[in-house]
Amino acid sequence: METLSFEFPAGQPPRGRALVGCVGSGDLEVLIEPGLAGKLTIQVQTSVNGSEQRWQHLFARMFDGQTPPAMSIDIHDFGATPGVVRLRLEQGFEEIGHD
């Protein structure tokens, strides 16, 4: 198991928070809360060792060319593939837009 931290430039914090997914086989749990203005921080706890580069690339590709909201994201990963991670994150981003 590994604990990883990432940081990206961001805009203003969102209003809502969201929880999506579950720490089940091949899935992950994503908790999204408002962060400090200008900063997007991501904490990942993953059951897969040696995966830091993969997470870095995945986040960089997602936020490329846009300024995401300033969020504090906690991820508890149980071996999700990058595709599943991306789906869960997008699901979470959609939910923080709702009240």
Partner 1 sequence: MTDSAALLNKHSFVELGARQRAKALLDAGTFRELLDPFQRIMSPWLLRQGVVPQSDDGVVIAKGNLDGLPVVIAAIEGAFQGGSLGEVGGAKIAGALELAAEDNRKGIPTRAVLLLETGGVRLQEANLGLAAIAEIHSAIVDLRQYQPVVGVVAGSVGCFGGMSIAAGLCSYLLVTQEARLGLNGPQVIEQEAGLDEYDSRDRPFIWSLTGGEQRFATGLVDRYAADDVTQIRQQVSQLLHLGVPEQHRSGQAELFLQRLARLDTDVQIEPATVRQLYQGERS
Residues engaged in binding partner 1 (CB under 8 A): 1, 17, 19, 22-25, 27, 29, 31, 33, 45-47, 74, 76-78
Closest distance between partner 1 and the C-beta of residue 11, in Å?
Answer: 22
* C-beta closer to partner 1: residue 1 or 83: 1
Q: Which is nearer to partner 1, 9 or 24 (CB)?
A: 24
Q: How far is the CB of 38 from partner 1 (least distance, A)?
A: 22
Q: Round to the nearest angstrom and report the end-to-end CA distance of the chain.
A: 34
Closer CB to partner 1, 5 or 25, in the complex: 25
Q: Min. distance of Cβ 66 from partner 1 in angstroms?
A: 26
Nearest of 20, 98, 5 to residue 55 by alpha carbon: 5
Tokens of 60: 């960089």
* Cβ within 8 Å of residue 30, ≥6 positions away: 18, 19, 20, 21, 73, 74, 75, 88, 89, 91, 92
